[in-house]
Amino acid sequence: MSGKSPLAASAEQRDALKRLAVSVNRAEADRARAILLSLSGWKSAAIGEVFGVREDTVRDWRSSFMREGLAGIERHPAPGCSPVKAEAALAVASELFAAPVENRINWTLPRLSEEIERRTGHRISHSRLSVVLRKKGALPASDPATR
């Protein structure tokens, strides 16, 4: 199908798209920028080339925006179960890292993993624990042993 897209956006939607276009979530920002380019008259093929996606993907983004508005292109949490182990690990780690540095045990990933299992019953691997702590910014800055 070729021709002019029926895509339209209000001034408020355009402002929201501009804000979303600078999101820290790259995929979300790319979708917003693609919609803004579409509104400026760019074709799907050209937008796809700019963002390194197929033109069908650009059409999907445009369709989502036309159906759902801004909600159609914003980030959506992945479906599935809640991260029980990660949440348990963060709760325990936050409590342990809250102690003043001079009174705190030198928490290595193996020690921390064992303590989490002892307190919560959830076993979490050292590598997964490292990812969870880094992603949530839970590692204490002054403790090089947990880096």
> Per residue in 107-142, pLDDT tens?
899 999 999 999 999 999 999 999 888 887 766 555
Determine, yes or no, domain membership for 31.
yes
HSE-CB at 139 with a 13 A cutoff on CA atoms is 16
CB 74 within 8 A of CB 112: no
- Answer whether residue 77 is part of any domain: no
3 belongs to a structural domain? no
Structure pTM?
A: 0.54
Whether 2 is covered by a domain: the verdict is no
pLDDT in tens, 68-119: 999 988 877 767 877 889 999 999 998 888 888 887 788 899 999 999 999 9
Amino acid at 28: E
Q: Are 15 and 66 in a shared domain?
A: yes
Number of separate domains in the chain: 2
What residue numbers bound the domain in which 92 lies? 84-146
